[in-house]
Structure 1
Amino acid sequence: MSSFVTEVLASSGKLEKDDLACKISKLSRKVEATKEEVTDMINKKYTEFMSSMEAADELVDQVESVSKDIDLLKSCIENEVKQNLHDAVTEYGKLKQQLEKNTTVIGMLQHLQEFDTAMEEYHKALQEKNYVVAAKQHGTAQANVDALKAWKDTELPLSQALSSEITIQRENLIYHLGEEWKKLAVWKLPSTKELTSMKSFLTTALHLNTGACKADGSVPDPLLSSILQALSVQGELHKKIKLFGQVLFKYMLKPLILYPSLVVEVNSQPEQGIVLSLHCEETKAEHPNPSQVYTKVLTVLTTLHKQLFDVPVGEKKVSEILGDLIWEEMSDCLICDCLVHSIPTNSSQLAEYSAVIKQTEEFESSLKQMGYLTGDSTDLLKYARNVNCHFASKKCQDVIVSARKLMTSDMHNTVKITPEYKLSIPKLPNPAGGEKEKKELIKKSGYRNQQTLENEKQLSRHTLCLPVCRISESVQQLMDLAIHTLSEAVGSSPQCAVQLFYTVRNIFHLFYDVVPTYHKENFLKLPHLAAIEHNNCMFIAHHLLTLGHQFKPHLPLKDGVAYFVDMVPGFRRLGARCFVAQMNVQKAEMLERLSTARNFSNLDDEDNYSVASKAIRQVIHQLRRLGKVWQDVLPVNIYCKAMGTLLNTAICELINKIMMLEDISNEDGDRLRTLCQTIIEEGPLVFTPLPDENKNKKYQEEVPVYVKKWMTLKELSIVLNASLQEIVDRWAEGKGPLAVEFSCNEMKSLIRALFKNTERRAAALTKIVK
């Protein structure tokens, strides 16, 4: 019931409005009447020409009266009505605020009522294990609490208590769901410290207890579905599945992929569920077979799908969530630890690999049917289908590994190379159009006269053949490996062929870099190895000249490719550099021995002569030892040049020391001549390039060809025991043998050292001119 003041105000406003309307109505009627009278008067005045001033004055007074009434009415409207209108608007605004406040209170009460109802339903559903309803009711209660918190201008003492309650109940729900989840999947895992071998995974087992299902298995257990959906509603399902997937992959799927002898068994226990356990079976396989691996992985995932994960949650099934989480890691493992080992090592096995590609397709198809995998193209299937590229990569990797192993192996084992030696190159297919082009070339050039061919000089059958020498067995195997790899490239896909070709080039680049570094110390310490390395490099360089020409018609390479010819100079320099380094070591050792001879002076002293004689014999012994080491290893011409260079070094040192002596007594001269004769007699004996002594006589007779100072030494030996006249005769006015080997100054210096200053010596010196 309205208050008295409200009624008075309402009545006052109503009366004022009624009075105003009444006045307006009366005024309107009065105006109409006046209008009629004025009209009548005008008609009478201008139509009937009846003048009536009295009537006119009355009408004027009447019009003025009406005008005053109108002015009063306007004043009333301006002053009273507008004022009442402002008051009404203010009153209405207050009423509206009051109404909105009441509406807010009613809304808050509704949220409290809905919260209370939702919590009652939540507790009831939780007791009945209806977890989906519980999760949804909890969500409803949470929404109401959030709505209460949204009113910033409203302070509700219960809001904090309600927030605490809703948090506690959420944790309670998650705890119950976690306990239920633990019952669904029970793991038995080995200790992480024991994961060192296949045997450590034999204790892994997974017990799935999902309750009863329908006979056809199409509808999952209601409790299972309720648990999974409730976890999804609470945002906990992804976490649970992620943790489960990590354990599943680490302790079950990955071991099944890695170890060929590890298998999975599925046992059904009445009223207890399904048990997945790992067992060991004997196998000789070193690497897992893709077909067996796919079968083992599908056994695990199919069991999980049937028993646990074939449950829709929102727009996805749980199996799809698990697949998204573990597929990438599992796919990488399948590629790196399974498919890699199944890639063929020989091009003839590539056709058989189609079975592996088909098995991979079937494997992925099964995963897609169960929802573990989505999408049409995966890295796993791409890897399997791209077998040609992977074959080439694996082949190249294996070739490089094998080549490096050969390069770092022992070099002492050697094989003998003869001019008849040929590389074992398999029969290559005829290039397209080869025979046709050959016939056309013969037709254009015409047949040459047989008689002309018989009269022409023929090249020796040993032209461009390697000389007799020894090379490392590992280098021969390395060359065979290169030829086998190039043979694999013939007939392969263009991409594979190019990759294999450049792998062969990389083999020789690797040899150039690895061998000199890896065997550096041995090359300097062991003359035998230095000689073998020289031969190895020359052997490789020799065959690189023609290797590209032999395979060029069969390889899909562009014009302008150098093949292997560009590498020939480098290998020749490498072999020469290695052997020259060893020669320098031998020279240094020889000169060091000769340095102990006390400059070959004062040989009339027995001690000095003994030291000098010992130094000469040590040099001869060093050369003989080298001869035995290099015999039958170096080619004959290289052997003779090397021994001649070393012997010439010793002779030069001896000649230089003798020529530097200023006074040579008769006894000194005899002993110096004895030392020279020792070298002259025993020096040729170091030229033994062949094991057969009889064949070495030829090279021993050709010592002057290889030793530049050999005749100089012989002439010096003669001078040391000759008279002045004999010396002058052998000089023969600059045309004799002495003049060929010595200069005037050298000869004069030697005469001054050998003979006393007499007239005869002076006369002899005057004859030593060119």
Structure 2
Amino acid sequence: MADYDVDTILKGIFDTNEPDWKPADKIPLIVKEIEFLKADLKTFLDSSEYDIDSVVKESTEITKLSKALVEDMEKCKTEIEDQTMAEILKSIENHDMISKELERVNFALDIVCDVLQCGKLVKEFEEGRQAQSYSRAVEAVYDLLQYLDLPVEGFKCLDLHVNTKHTAQLILDRLLHDLFAEWGRLISWNVKPGTKKTIVTITLNFDESMMAVDVVNALEKSKHLSQKVSEFAQALLKDVLVPIINKDCTVFAETDELMTVTINHKPNFRPPYDEVIANLRLLFHYLSNKLNIEYYRDNTIMKMIGKEIHVEFSDILVKDCLIDTIPNNINDLQHYGRITSEIENFQLFLCLVKFFPREGYSILQYVKNIDVLFATKSSQHFLETARAIMLKDLSVTMSIGVESIPEEPVKKQDDGPAKEALKLLDKTIPKSLFYFPRCMISKSAQELLDLVMMMMEQAVQCSDVVCKKLYNTARLVFELYDAVVPYHHEDYLLTIPQYVALFHNNCMYLAHNLQTLGDKWLILMEGREMDYPISFIDLVQKMRDLGYKHLIIHMQHQRNQILDNIRSSDLNCIVVKDVLSENAEAAVRQCLRQLQLLKNVWIGVFPVNVFTRLMGTLVNMFAEELIHRVCTVEDISMEMATQLTEMYTLVVQKAPTLFQKPSDVETHVKSWIKLQELIFVLGGSLKDIENHWKDGKGPLAVHFRTEELRNLIKALFQNTQIRANLLSKIK
């Protein structure tokens, strides 16, 4: 039975390969198979170990019991639906009523609890006030207000809530008013300004009593302590600490509670650092004794003040006081450790009085950049010193330079490229390049140069940062000279010849030294690597141009004076006069006096060659103007010719005396011979003029243009045959 396969049997009966089959043919086969299966089933049941009949009987009884059970369940269901369900619905209704009643009770209970809590806090406030404890009273009022800000539902609708909150706010305002008054009693200050001095008084009534601590705790709980401490700290910084750092002050403890700070108003006064530190020690010692009362977990008023202003105070102290302690020379810098030790001790003191935090902060941070600060300080000092030198009187003079270039003995040189190079150098570079001619300069110019030399000597002893800064400062000194000296001495340079001469010489002397200053610097810096070039060559021509500029301006001024003298006299209107008035000769004499005055001022001040060239320029201009006055006239009377001859002869007599050597007039005055020839023409005859002409080869032909000489002859002599003959020869 277990191995019986229905599909296989059916496939055997119904052969799919049989083309035509009929159901009637297959039925007997199926019936036969069924009968076979029945016989097989019977055989199986007969041989089975189970009592089939008993099983069938038991199954029938179980079926009957099941049906009876179903009927009982149906009856139970009907009974539940008819009776129990009604009772359940009634119970649910009762539960809802009870829940709503409970909610009403809880609602009322919450309101009653809030009312009781408010009453409790009001009672605590009254107890704190009776005990004279501001902290307990403040805590109770704040708790009450906080409780009223978050009430249970319905409490806000009660008049009690509004009245209680209003009352609590009034109580708090009155309480804060009393607290602020107590704070004012504990800490107070007064500033009494005056024209000569300002007096600041600080009164601290803090002590170890519970009352003071209670006031501080109350302010802390009311969140107003930080504000009050901040106000005091800022006033302390502004009215006391900053003046102590910047002005002359006297700090004096009148009593244990009263401190007086007297600020004296002295213009341009900066107190020394040790005096500042001494005054600050007195002040902070007084503050520490009164304000270091611990009120909450190691907190003190002094700590709060320090937290508020210690950074700003330190910045001001460093910027306005301690920076000034940095020296401006290398010798003092080497002993700067003594000052830093004093500053470090002062910082430790501020930490002990709890003004500074114990760790993580130092007012000596600026020392880390000591090189930069020293460089800046030195640079500022040297520039200020240089400017002070530049403002000095230029007329305080000294002699400088050599009279003549010394002849150096010829040194024996080895044969080779070096000898040839030195020979070439001697040929191309004049010896005068390395010598400055004898003249007078202002002592201030030499002082300025000495100052730059001092900067150079100090720079080579310092670090690269300082050296570079001082090198740039040295360059700035000469640029500052260009800006300061001409501006400060402007009036003198426009009016006083000696000042112009000295200023010119100063510029030339400084320019002369600038040529080799860079090489001197490099020699001292030998062995050190630098990432920047050192040279002053580019400033040489600027300095020379500065001297040239003001000398040219003054020369133009002198020229204009000479021309104004001549043009304001009858020499300017020869053509309309037959005889010159006395003002013509007076103008010529005035010009000569002006030139003589320049000689007296300039000789010995300028180098000889410079003086000679300048005087030659002015005398030549004067002579050309005199010549021009005559050569442009169409008619000159005999009387006027005589007058002109006398005046021009006076010029010829006086002019050589204007030079250090009289012979210099012939070399440096281009119109000198022409003036003499003009005098000859004015006083000579036509025959004399013809002899000096010499058919175009005489001195008149050399110094006069043909047209000039023809016009001069026409103006001096009447139209005769002799004049015509002479004019025909002059072509």
TM-score (norm 2): 0.79
Superposed displacement of residue 306, structure 1: 3.9
Distance of 1:275 and 1:184 partners within structure 2: 11
Q: For the Cα contact (< 8 Å) 1:648–1:707, is it kept in 2?
A: yes
Q: What is the aligned partner in structure 2 of residue 673 from structure 1?
A: 645
Q: What is the aligned partner in structure 2 of residue 121 from structure 1?
A: 124
**Which of 335, 356, 363 is the equivalent residue of 1:380?**
363
For 1:426-457, what per-residue CA distance to the aligned partner results, in whole angstroms no more than 9, with x for missing partners? xxxxxxxxxxxxxxxx99999999xx99xx99
Q: For the Cα contact (< 8 Å) 1:111–1:147, is it kept in 2?
A: no
Q: What is the aligned partner in structure 1 of residue 713 from structure 2?
A: 751
Q: Which amino acid aligns with 1:208?
A: N
Q: What is the aligned partner in structure 2 of residue 167 from structure 1?
A: 169
Q: How does 1:48-447 map to 2 (within 5 A)?
A: 99-148=102-151, 151=153, 154-185=156-187, 187=189, 189-191=190-192, 193-194=193-194, 196-197=196-197, 200-201=198-199, 204=201, 206-211=203-208, 221-250=209-238, 252-258=240-246, 262-265=250-253, 267=255, 274-277=257-260, 288-313=271-296, 316-374=299-357, 376=359, 378=361, 380-419=363-402
Q: For the Cα contact (< 8 Å) 2:507–2:546, is it kept in 1?
A: yes
Distance of 1:519 and 1:384 partners within structure 2: 41
Q: What is the aligned partner in structure 2 of residue 613 from structure 1?
A: 585
Question: Is the deviation greater in 726-735 or in 299-308?
Answer: 299-308
Q: What is the aligned partner in structure 2 of residue 742 from structure 1?
A: 704
Q: For the Cα contact (< 8 Å) 2:578–2:636, is it kept in 1?
A: no
Distance of 2:586 and 2:53 partners within structure 1: 180
Superposed displacement of residue 68, structure 1: 14
Gaps of 5+ in 1: 1-42, 212-220, 269-273, 422-441, 688-695
1:564 aligns with 2:566: no
Q: Which amino acid aligns with 2:490?
A: K
Superposed displacement of residue 163, structure 1: 1.6
Distance of 2:432 and 2:68 partners within structure 1: 153
Q: Which amino acid aligns with 1:164?
A: H
Q: Which amino acid aligns with 2:622?
A: A
Q: For the Cα contact (< 8 Å) 1:260–1:289, is it kept in 2?
A: no
**Which of 709, 729, 745 is the equivalent residue of 2:691?**
729
Superposed displacement of residue 646, structure 1: 1.2
| 3-state SS in 2 of match to 1:561 | coil
Q: Which has the larger radius of gyration?
A: 2
Distance of 2:414 and 2:704 partners within structure 1: 64
For 1:5-48, what per-residue CA distance to the aligned partner results, in whole angstroms no more than 9, with x for missing partners? xxxxxxxxxxxxxxxxxxxxxxxxxxxxxxxxxxxxxx999958
Distance of 1:482 and 1:121 partners within structure 2: 81
Superposed displacement of residue 89, structure 1: 7.8
Superposed displacement of residue 578, structure 1: 0.3
Superposed displacement of residue 315, structure 1: 7.0
1:579 aligns with 2:551: yes
Across the aligned residues of Structure 1 and Structure 2, the Cα RMSD in angstroms comes to 4.2
Superposed displacement of residue 415, structure 1: 2.1
Q: Which amino acid aligns with 2:600?
A: K
Q: What is the aligned partner in structure 2 of residue 510 from structure 1?
A: 480
| 3-state SS in 2 of match to 1:204 | strand
Distance of 2:368 and 2:111 partners within structure 1: 65
Distance of 1:531 and 1:98 partners within structure 2: 118
| 3-state SS in 2 of match to 1:228 | helix
Superposed displacement of residue 277, structure 1: 4.7
- Change in Cα spacing, 1:318 to 1:647, as seen in structure 2 (3 Å) is same
Distance of 2:345 and 2:601 partners within structure 1: 65
| 3-state SS in 1 of match to 2:604 | coil
Q: What is the aligned partner in structure 2 of residue 649 from structure 1?
A: 621
Superposed displacement of residue 584, structure 1: 0.8
Q: What is the aligned partner in structure 2 of residue 464 from structure 1?
A: 434
| 3-state SS in 2 of match to 1:409 | coil
Matched residue count = 661
Q: How does 1:679-698 map to 2 (within 5 A)?
A: 679-687=651-659, 696=660
Distance of 2:147 and 2:69 partners within structure 1: 71
Q: What is the aligned partner in structure 1 of residue 12 from structure 2?
A: none
**Which of 716, 723, 730 is the equivalent residue of 1:761?**
723
TM-score (norm 1): 0.75
Q: What is the aligned partner in structure 2 of residue 536 from structure 1?
A: 506
For 1:231-272, what per-residue CA distance to the aligned partner results, in whole angstroms no more than 9, with x for missing partners? 11111211222233244445554454456672434755xxxx
Question: Is the deviation greater in 501-510 or in 659-668?
Answer: 659-668
- Change in Cα spacing, 1:301 to 1:751, as seen in structure 2 (3 Å) is closer
Q: What is the aligned partner in structure 2 of residue 431 from structure 1?
A: none
Q: Which amino acid aligns with 1:470?
A: M
Q: For the Cα contact (< 8 Å) 2:247–2:263, is it kept in 1?
A: no
For 1:176-209, what per-residue CA distance to the aligned partner results, in whole angstroms no more than 9, with x for missing partners? 433443443455x452x22743xx43x7353434
| 3-state SS in 1 of match to 2:718 | coil
Q: For the Cα contact (< 8 Å) 2:575–2:633, is it kept in 1?
A: no
Q: For the Cα contact (< 8 Å) 1:545–1:568, is it kept in 2?
A: yes
Superposed displacement of residue 487, structure 1: 2.2
Distance of 1:301 and 1:373 partners within structure 2: 11
Superposed displacement of residue 170, structure 1: 1.8
Question: Is the deviation greater in 576-585 or in 760-769?
Answer: 760-769
Q: What is the aligned partner in structure 1 of residue 454 from structure 2?
A: 484
Q: Which amino acid aligns with 1:601?
A: I
Q: For the Cα contact (< 8 Å) 1:603–1:668, is it kept in 2?
A: no
Superposed displacement of residue 125, structure 1: 1.9
Distance of 2:609 and 2:352 partners within structure 1: 76
| 3-state SS in 2 of match to 1:601 | helix
Q: For the Cα contact (< 8 Å) 1:600–1:658, is it kept in 2?
A: no
Superposed displacement of residue 610, structure 1: 2.4
Distance of 2:473 and 2:714 partners within structure 1: 69
**Which of 692, 703, 713 is the equivalent residue of 2:665?**
703
Distance of 2:403 and 2:204 partners within structure 1: 73
Q: Which amino acid aligns with 2:146?
A: A
For 1:715-754, what per-residue CA distance to the aligned partner results, in whole angstroms no more than 9, with x for missing partners? 2222223333332332223222221111222222222223
Q: What is the aligned partner in structure 2 of residue 664 from structure 1?
A: 636
For 1:519-566, what per-residue CA distance to the aligned partner results, in whole angstroms no more than 9, with x for missing partners? 333322222222222112111111111112111234567355252111
Q: For the Cα contact (< 8 Å) 1:469–1:535, is it kept in 2?
A: yes
- Change in Cα spacing, 1:744 to 1:82, as seen in structure 2 (3 Å) is farther
Identical positions, percent: 27
Superposed displacement of residue 593, structure 1: 1.2
Q: What is the aligned partner in structure 1 of residue 564 from structure 2?
A: 592
Q: For the Cα contact (< 8 Å) 2:375–2:469, is it kept in 1?
A: yes
- Change in Cα spacing, 1:159 to 1:553, as seen in structure 2 (3 Å) is farther
Superposed displacement of residue 638, structure 1: 1.6
Superposed displacement of residue 352, structure 1: 2.0
Q: Which amino acid aligns with 1:497?
A: C
